[in-house]
Amino acid sequence: MINLNDIKITPRDQQVLHLLVQGCSNKEIAGHLSISPRTVKQHLRTLFLRAGITDGRKRVKLATAMFVKEQASSCNLANA
């Protein structure tokens, strides 16, 4: 499992990841963030490299890691 706390994630990376977790395509992410699909692809490519993801199911691994992180944050807020 990827620990997103161990890699550098910019605020824009965070936005891209949030939309990825929601199941958005690169084109949909681009539309939501007013950037090009190519820019979305570059954000994801950079995140894959930082996370050490090299095999075929990159989007799934990254989205799963982001989902786990968001769930942990939600639980922590609920318990506060």
Domain boundaries, the chain: 9-79
Q: Which residues contact 54 (CB under 8 A, 6 or more apart)?
A: 48
Asked if 48 contacts 58 with a C-beta cutoff of 8 angstroms, the reply is yes
Q: Which stretches of the chain score pLDDT less than 50?
A: 76-80
* Phi, psi (deg, nearest 5) at residue 17: -65, -40
Quick one: pLDDT at residue 2?
67
Quick one: pLDDT at residue 79?
46
Q: Calculate helix-pair angle for 37-51, 11-21, nearest 10 degrees.
A: 100
Quick one: pLDDT at residue 77?
46
Total-model pTM:
0.69
Token readout for 51 is: 């996370």
Mind listing the pLDDT tens digit for each residue in 3-21?
Answer: 767 788 899 998 998 898 8
Question: What is the maximum span of the chain, computed from C-alpha positions, in angstroms?
Answer: 40
> Which class is domain 9-79?
mainly alpha
